[in-house]
Amino acid sequence: MLALLDERIAQQKKKLLATAQRIVPGVIEDDLLQPNDFPALEFHPYFRYEEGVLAGLYEARSALAALIS
């Protein structure tokens, strides 16, 4: 189950990066750690939605890992 969440997290990270690059060309994965450096990302609702999906996946993985251990 953790492997499935890890796979989904990797897919969502790619989707988030692709979304960010459509909004701000040239953005790299490291830039996503501080999207507030890019006002176009900071205030873009679709980017923030996709970022929230990723955060939720991380939370689910963390909860599942805690439950397993």
Q: Tell me how far the alpha carbon of residue 43 is from its chain's centroid.
A: 16
Q: Which amino acid is at 66?
A: A
Instruction: Read off the pLDDT of each residue in 15-41 and give the average, rounded to a whole number.
Output: 97
Cα distance between residue 34 and residue 27, in whole Å: 11
Identify whether the C-beta of residue 2 lies closer than 8 Å to the C-beta of residue 64.
Answer: yes
pTM, two decimals, is 0.93
What pLDDT does 10 receive? 98
Per residue in 47-59, pLDDT (tens digit) is: 999 999 999 999 9
Per residue in 4-23, pLDDT (tens digit) is: 999 999 999 999 999 999 99
Cα distance between residue 30 and residue 38, in whole Å: 12
What six digits make up the tokens of 61? 């993985």
Q: What is the rounded average pLDDT for all residues in the chain?
A: 97
Cβ atoms within 10 Å of 61's Cβ, excluding its own: 17
